[in-house]
Amino acid sequence: MLVHEILKRGKDNNDAIYSQLGALTYQGLRVATENCRRRLYAMGVRQRSTVGIYSRNRAEYIAAYMAIVSLGAIVVPINFQLSMRETAFILKNADSHFLLTDKPLTLDAAINSQYYEDVKQMDIGTCIEPTTLPPPPELPKDFSPDEPAALIYTSGTTGEPKGAVLSHRNLVMNTIDLQQVVHYNSSDNVLCVLPMYHCFAWTCAVMISLYTGATLSIQDAFTPKKTIDITRALGVTIIVMVPSICSLITKLATPEDFKTLRFVMLGGTTLPEAIGTAFTTKFNIPIVEGYGLSEASPVVTMNPPEATRATSVGPAIPDVKIRIVDPETGLDVPKGERGELLVQGPNVMHGYWKNEEATATTLADGWLHTGDVARCDEDGYYYIVDRIKDMIISMGENIYPREIEELIYAFPGIREVAVVPVADKLRGQAGSCYYTVQPDTEVDLRALKKYLQQNLALFKIPREFHEIKEMPKTATGKIAKKELFKLDEDSL
């Protein structure tokens, strides 16, 4: 199956999307996709063309995405919060001369280059309107599911973003395998809160909803009140979100607001236990937490809704193999011990676009090296310990920031916390803790330090503590530790 062929699975008169446009049936979505398809072909989009989408969540985003891949072209979803310089870099790196956008972009002003003068832009808001343009030719019968469908640009801690090449097979198989665990159905109403350019939102909200014939409710921009209002008004049954949203929702929503919810699917970053417990206690609704990364389309593990395990990201989904290895030797570690998580399966990317060196490193020996430290229990449930690059090595001892963060989250008054490594002349590295507090609350730092001394080995306690007003975030709600690294670098 190709990505766009999932549009055939929904019944004609069933609602596919609720958005700013109102309700759009599956038949209406197919017509909208065909209109966009004709416009793109007339603009010059052909098989293997790369086409950027720079837009907030909207129904037209889905039609545009499906139209692009139906032509055998490659979608390049772009974070709409990026600067023009960053957006221009992605378009040029992806060799894209086509861009669907919700506002005109002045790319040539960002990077002085003739290249950007040739980029053809189309208003995504008008791309689905009726047209008399002739239909494009169908894809050749030998068009392979292994052809690229999307370039997902990931930003590392260093260097320029890299484009993970995901094929039709990658995206469709990840959707099918995920469905075998979470069991969406055609009666579900799935709320997409996260931006669609993010692989987690695209697979776990958009793709799986269309694959199962469910209804997708689209939120163009996140505010807690809007999420609560939409859930209550439309009878949402599943919300796909990240931990920071979960925390805000817990404080503001009532059990009555969420009476139609079957479960909340959560990913993007690990869920602090205190936040998860507060949510499930208040609403008596399971949190279905999973783990993944863009290079894996993205889902690798997922808790089954009927058998969730707190602090775990669940077992591997069907067709996905996992190893936990010693990052130094590359050998498998005993069950229960920590090591780097490696992935193999039909969801794993083909490589990084135009970057053979990074591809060879990340896909070494036929396994996707995630850079995440994990462990697996006797029942096959996985637990993410930390990122290898976030690990603090102090006097030869490995310190995992997440362990410290979990403890601090449970301390009264703490809202959010992040621990990052800093240089230390004596120990090599030490921890630096940044935290925010609940509104109208004060945190006694001496009491916090005493609490940590009672619950942690002394070498694990951060050297520094900084109370800040707001935690820097990425567009998908993750704490932006890179920004905290910069704060510490500025203070050294």
Strand partners, 340: 325, 373
Q: How many other C-beta atoms lie within 10 A of the C-beta of residue 441?
A: 10
Q: How many other C-beta atoms lie within 10 A of the C-beta of residue 461?
A: 17
Task: Express the helix, strand and coil content of the chain in percent, nearest 5 each.
Answer: 35, 25, 40
Q: How many other C-beta atoms lie within 10 A of the C-beta of residue 307?
A: 12
What separation in angstroms does the CA of 224 have from each of 39, 215, 230, 246, 359?
37, 21, 10, 9, 39
Look at residue 108 in the predicted model and tell me its pLDDT.
67
Specify whether the CB–CB gap between 274 and 416 falls below 8 A: no
Instruction: Write down the H helix ranges in 255-345.
Output: 273-283
Q: Which residue has the tokens 């069950």?
A: 335
DSSP-derived 3-state class of residue 92? helix
Closest CA to 434 of 393, 387, 481: 481
User: Hey, what amino acid is at 431?
Assistant: G
C-alpha to C-alpha distance for 174 and 68, rounded to whole angstroms: 20
Look at residue 114 in the predicted model and tell me its pLDDT.
63
Q: How many other C-beta atoms lie within 10 A of the C-beta of residue 396?
A: 8
C-alpha to C-alpha distance for 65 and 68, rounded to whole angstroms: 5
| pLDDT, mean of each 10-residue run, the chain (492 residues) | 97 96 95 98 98 97 98 96 84 95 80 72 96 97 97 71 96 98 98 94 98 97 93 97 88 96 91 91 97 96 96 97 94 96 98 96 96 96 89 81 92 94 86 94 95 90 94 83 70 40
8-state DSSP, 479:
B
Displacement of CA 374 from its chain's centroid (Å): 19
Strand partners, 429: 423
Look at residue 118 in the predicted model and tell me its pLDDT.
81
Q: How many other C-beta atoms lie within 10 A of the C-beta of residue 357?
A: 8
C-alpha to C-alpha distance for 358 and 381, rounded to whole angstroms: 30
Look at residue 134 in the predicted model and tell me its pLDDT.
97
Element (H, E) at 120: strand 120-123
Element (H, E) at 232: helix 224-234
β 120-123/148-154 pair status: unpaired
Q: Is residue 162 left, alpha or beta, with left meaning phi > 0 and alpha meaning psi from -120 to 50?
A: beta
Specify whether the CB–CB gap between 297 and 178 falls below 8 A: no
Question: What fold is seen in the domain 391-491?
Answer: GMP Synthetase; Chain A, domain 3 (3.30.300)
Look at residue 400 in the predicted model and tell me its pLDDT.
85
8-state DSSP, 96:
-
C-alpha to C-alpha distance for 242 and 230, rounded to whole angstroms: 17
Closest CA to 73 of 3, 1, 169, 157: 3
Look at residue 157 in the predicted model and tell me its pLDDT.
41
- Token pair, residue 445, equals 């730092």
Q: Which residue has the tokens 């979960």?
A: 246
Look at residue 109 in the predicted model and tell me its pLDDT.
59
Domain at 1-388: CATH code: 3.40.50.12780
Look at residue 65 in the predicted model and tell me its pLDDT.
98
Closest CA to 245 of 215, 216, 224: 224
Quickly list DSSP for 162-210: EEEEEEHHHHHHHHHHHHHHH---TT-EEEE-S-TTSHHHIIIIIIHHH
Element (H, E) at 239: strand 238-241
8-state DSSP, 91:
H
Instruction: Report domain extents, the chain.
Output: 1-388, 391-491
C-alpha to C-alpha distance for 348 and 330, rounded to whole angstroms: 19
